[in-house]
């Protein structure tokens, strides 16, 4: 059976990913801080889907926790076929009012952990010629809330996924950014949820993401409203990518010396 590792896999969107992947026959490695809750979720997946579920209690904002998950991802005897970088955090309050340690935690979890776990798993996937990475971004990466630093971290996830995806054609490895808007939740203390089309079902978001991953797409935006907005915002990028491909086909490719500023690589 293939194996998927899901960070933040005990609740919310991560739990929806774990449920869908277990139903699809994936063995699971579930990562979160609360071991007790992980064990409860793992027992349910074993019972309902007959899959193997490994529990890895780790705090990805702490060096020891991050290293433990990296080691699991690089274990050649137990390869991971799909990594879902779902764990994330958003500080309450505006930037100038939030404690700097809380802001740093956003960077550690939403940026650093995504970078390091992706870097840990992709080389082995390339060697095997197969594998996938899902990086959970957010619509806030395009339209951040007032005064929030969270949107900046999710904008980085979008740009990072683009960068990694550009290095993978022909390797058999895929990477995709999931860009959901507001997600419904049964978690205690969650904000009041409306009935409008802006509120999305997490399972629907997961289904859309995995379908887009299977189609070879690098960006998945569930929900008609969000998808329409993101398609408009992404149009300049798509145009630039097309220009880059055309330029690359029509000109002799030159090796760029290390250290050269490549900002204007399309020119000349």
Given 26, 142, 150, 226, the catalytic residue = 150
Neighbours of 61 (CB within 10 A): 19
Length of the chain: 268
Per-residue pLDDT reduced to its tens digit, 58-110:
999 999 999 999 999 999 999 999 999 999 998 888 888 889 999 999 999 99
142 catalytic residue (yes or no): no
Mean pLDDT of 32-61: 97
What is the pLDDT at residue 264?
37
The residue among 140, 129, 104, 134 whose CA lies nearest residue 206 is 134
Domains in the chain, CATH or no CATH each:
3-234 (3.40.50.720)
Q: Which residues of 149-188 are buried (b: 16+ CB within 10 A; e: fewer)?
A: bbbbbbbbbbebbeebbeebeeeebbbbbbbbbbbbeeee
Three-class SS state of 108: helix
Per-residue pLDDT reduced to its tens digit, 160-174:
999 999 999 999 999
Mean pLDDT of 1-25: 96
């Amino acid at each position: 059976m293939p194996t998927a590792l899901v960070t933040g896999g005990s609740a919310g969107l991560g739990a929806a990913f774990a449920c869908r992947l277990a139903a699809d026959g994936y063995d699971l490695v579930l990562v979160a801080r609360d071991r007790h809750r992980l064990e409860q979720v793992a027992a349910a997946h074993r019972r309902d889907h007959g899959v193997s579920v490994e529990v890895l209690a780790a705090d990805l904002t702490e060096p020891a926790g991050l290293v433990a998950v990296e080691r699991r991802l690089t274990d050649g005897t137990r390869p991971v076929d799909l990594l879902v970088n779902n764990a994330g955090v958003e500080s309450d309050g505006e930037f100038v009012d939030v404690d700097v340690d809380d802001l740093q935690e956003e960077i550690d979890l939403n940026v650093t952990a995504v970078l390091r776990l992706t870097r840990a798993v992709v080389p082995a996937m390339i060697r095997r010629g197969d594998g996938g990475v899902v990086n959970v971004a957010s619509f806030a990466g395009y339209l951040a809330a007032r005064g929030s630093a969270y949107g900046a971290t999710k904008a980085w996830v979008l740009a990072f996924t683009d960068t990694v995806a550009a290095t993978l054609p022909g390797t058999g490895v895929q990477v995709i950014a999931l860009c959901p808007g507001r997600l419904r939740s049964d978690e205690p203390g969650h904000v009041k949820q409306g009935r409008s089309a802006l509120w999305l079902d997490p399972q629907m978001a997961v289904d859309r993401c995995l379908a887009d991953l299977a189609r070879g797409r690098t960006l998945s935006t569930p929900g008609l409203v969000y998808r329409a907005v993101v398609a408009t915002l992404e149009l300049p990028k798509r145009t630039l990518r097309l220009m880059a491909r055309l330029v690359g086909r029509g000109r002799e490719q030159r090796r760029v010396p290390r250290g050269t500023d490549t900002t204007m690589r399309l020119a000349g």
